[in-house]
Structure formats: C-alpha cells, structure tokens
Amino acid sequence: MMTIPPLGLGTWPLTGPEATRAVLSGIEAGYRLIDTAAIYGNEDAVGAALAKCGLPRDELFVTTKLRGSDHLSGDIRGAVLGAPAVTAIAERLGHSPAQVVLAWHRVQGAVPIVRSADPARQIENLAALDVRLTAGDVDALTRLDRGESAARDVETEEHF
C-alpha cells in the first residue's frame, strides 16, 4: 500500500501550458502529490501533465479542495519566514527558512502543499524533507504565535 507523499506541489495560480510545465517539472524533481481545485481552472492542464509524465497513475496522488467554509486555508507560511527563531535555525542547519518551516509542518504531522512554477524552487522545497529539526528547534518554532491576523479567512478571501 502506498502512503501519501510527505510534501505536495500546489498549482495555484497556474493555468494552461504554464501549469502543465510546472507539474511536469515538479514530477521530474520528485513530487508525487499534486494539488489542484476546480476553481483554479487548471484541472485540464494538470491532467495533461499527469498523462504526459510517463509514471503509472497509481504512483501519483492528486488532491483537490472544497470551497468557502468547507475549506481551511493554511497559507500562512510567509508570515513566519522572517522570525528570528526561524532564521537562526535555518542558518545553523544550512537550510532556507522555508525549508525549516516545511520541516516543522512535517513534524506536526501535516502534509504541506507548496506552490511554485520554478523548477529550482520546486527542488528546494522538496529538499525540506532532508531537514532534521531537534526537539529544541520544534519547541522554538511551535512557540511562534502569529495570531489570527496571520491566517487568511476563507470566508472573505477565496484565494483558490
């Protein structure tokens, strides 16, 4: 039985050939979880990439999302990347702040969905799977409190 991959590739706001290229480069980089949604208007382009990539369909996970109050947004990553705790851990470990935050999400049992059409950034994000946080790192990151203002309210902001 295959388990859900530990990190996914997001496809918002990509459409058409740009979305197809981004998904193909993500799959080539090693992503096996691709995230889309009907409201993105890119399901055809994502499907084209899945058909073209050459991997058996049972080796890929494709996720989608619900709308409005049925969906919780987790897109607050950018709000904490500059926090001193994050940047200090990133510097000490030789990884980017984004990789540290993605690694923290994994320790919490979450499956982050990252989005990038840039093949180099896709590889960088996937390298977050190699970040090894200490218990002290996890505690320091968990203590970061960005407050409710850091989260997006999907009732008023439908970004998907």
Q: Kindly list the catalytic residues.
A: 40
Contact 8/31 with Cβ under 8 angstroms?
Answer: yes
Alpha-carbon span 70 to 38, nearest angstrom:
14
Does residue 95 sit in helix, strand or coil?
coil
Alpha-carbon span 34 to 32, nearest angstrom:
6
Alpha-carbon span 21 to 77, nearest angstrom:
24
Residues 6+ apart with CB under 8 A from 135: none
Nearest to 4 by CA among 34, 26, 28, 43: 34
Both structure tokens of 95: 């990884």
